[in-house]
Amino acid sequence: MPADTSRARHIVFAVAPDLVLLDACGPIEAFWRAELTMRAPSSAASPASEPCAYRVTLASIDGGVLPTFAGLPVLAERLDALDPATIDTLIVPGVPIDDSTVLQAELVAWIAASAPHARRVASVCTGAFYLAAAGLLDGRRAATHWRNAAQLARRFPQIEVDDEPIFIRDERAGRVVWTSAGVTAGIDLALALIEEDCGHAVAMQAARRLVVFMKRPGGQAQFSEALAAQSAAGGAFDALHGWMAANLHLELSVERLAEAACMSPRTFARRYVDAMGRTPARTVAAMRVEAAAHALAQSRLPVKRIAADCGFGTEQNLRRAFERRYGVLPGDYRARFSAINA
């Protein structure tokens, strides 16, 4: 049976040795900021007299001092000391995963036995491997860190692994399972859980306290176009991509980009496609849409001004680009993702 949610919701982080620390402490901070919002006398979401929104427990198989991947030890409770019936949300953070990693069998067994009692189950980053090993992702769509997505798919072929979303909510047969991408995506996941529990206003206030997006622009990309471009190029065009991101308002033709890269246009175009697997024009277009999304979410600038600043020229060009990329108009995007309007 699901846990009683009429009181503070019990969030349990079931952790393994070599825990990726931010996978746990990021979401824990988000839940705590939501609790602070619920406690605040001026909160429009909840009177101060109501109970706290969340109670968080970090627990491991052995309890006590737990080593983490970052080297900073944490103190954990014992999982067998918890009553599974009191767990509202079970979250499994990640650990470093490679082809030789052996999952902690006792933790897999505990997750398999305890998850049915929780209202919902979630993983952060490579915590998806533990949910998968416990049989909780069979037949479901799931996310994990982009570097481990192919490995998760190979190891557990019964899962539909998607390496694009920040997080995925999969509800089947009356059971809800959430999975998220890598590391900081755990904060995105926690804010989504908070919004589901406490409403948009509380989640937005928690995001503001953390100084993060409540929903990242686009919702899908796990890292920015500029970073993705630099990663794909292996460093060959790092300086150029930084220059492009700072000069999106200019006419970024192949000739101008080639000049910035100190190459002839023909040589630049050939080497760029070889390194990136796409044309310079496609990279410019992706960077411009991302920059416009950020401006819409983080400012009150008119759409016409954002279109000019990001190099679209006209508001109509920006609208067309947004409809292609996000399936919504810029105004609708701002209404949904703005960190200012809530």
Q: Which residues are catalytic?
A: 125
Q: How buried is 132 (Cβ within 10 angstroms: 0-12 exposed, 13-18 middle, 19+ buried)?
A: buried
Both tokens of 30, joined, read: 């988000």
The SS3 of residue 276 is: helix
| Dist CA 89 CA 130 (whole Å) | 16
C-alpha 38/C-alpha 199 separation (Å) is 11
Euclidean distance between the first and the last CA atom of the chain, given in angstroms as a whole number:
35
User: Rounded distance, CA 260 to CA 238, Å?
Assistant: 12
Q: Is residue 90 classed as helix, strand or coil in its secondary structure?
A: strand
**CA nearest neighbour of 181 among 208, 152, 210:** 152
